[in-house]
């Protein structure tokens, strides 16, 4: 049993260390990070896309910028942000895009 717990702990820390976009806060994380593509043009449309991640092992959904643009009927991207909410390894990633 001790070997199983040790192996599971090592696997967890390896998975957490391998994730380049992990911002910390395995118990809770509610961070919004800037995406890019910011312009000074006025944005009249907004769209978002979401995906879910379980313990950094399985990810389901499409949280790409293209999906957010499609959901908001945006043809010209003005900018986007990425919001991550993590509670005990269950993570929801939401990309919010805006443009015209």
The tens digit of pLDDT for each residue in 58-69 reads 889 988 889 998
pLDDT band at 84 (very low <50, low <70, confident <90, very high): confident
Q: Which residue, 67, 27, 28, is CA-closest to 51?
A: 67
The pLDDT assigned to 25 comes to: 66
pLDDT band at 78 (very low <50, low <70, confident <90, very high): confident
Residue in the structure block whose two tokens are 């809770």: 28
The pLDDT assigned to 60 comes to: 92
| Number of domains into which the chain is organized | 1
The pLDDT assigned to 20 comes to: 45
Averaged pLDDT for residues 35-46: 76
Q: Is 19 helix (H, G, I), strand (E, B) or coil?
A: coil
What's the domain range around 8?
A: 2-99
- pTM of structure: 0.68
């Amino acid at each position: 049993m001790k070997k199983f717990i040790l192996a599971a702990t090592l696997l967890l820390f390896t998975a957490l260390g391998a994730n380049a976009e992990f911002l910390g806060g395995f118990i809770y994380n509610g961070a919004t990070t800037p995406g890019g593509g910011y312009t000074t043009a006025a944005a009249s449309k907004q769209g978002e896309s979401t995906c879910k991640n379980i313990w950094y092992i399985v990810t389901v959904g499409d949280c790409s910028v293209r999906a957010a643009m499609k959901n908001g009927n945006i043809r010209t991207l003005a900018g986007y942000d990425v919001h991550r909410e993590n509670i005990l390894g269950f993570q929801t990633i939401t990309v919010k895009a805006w443009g015209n």
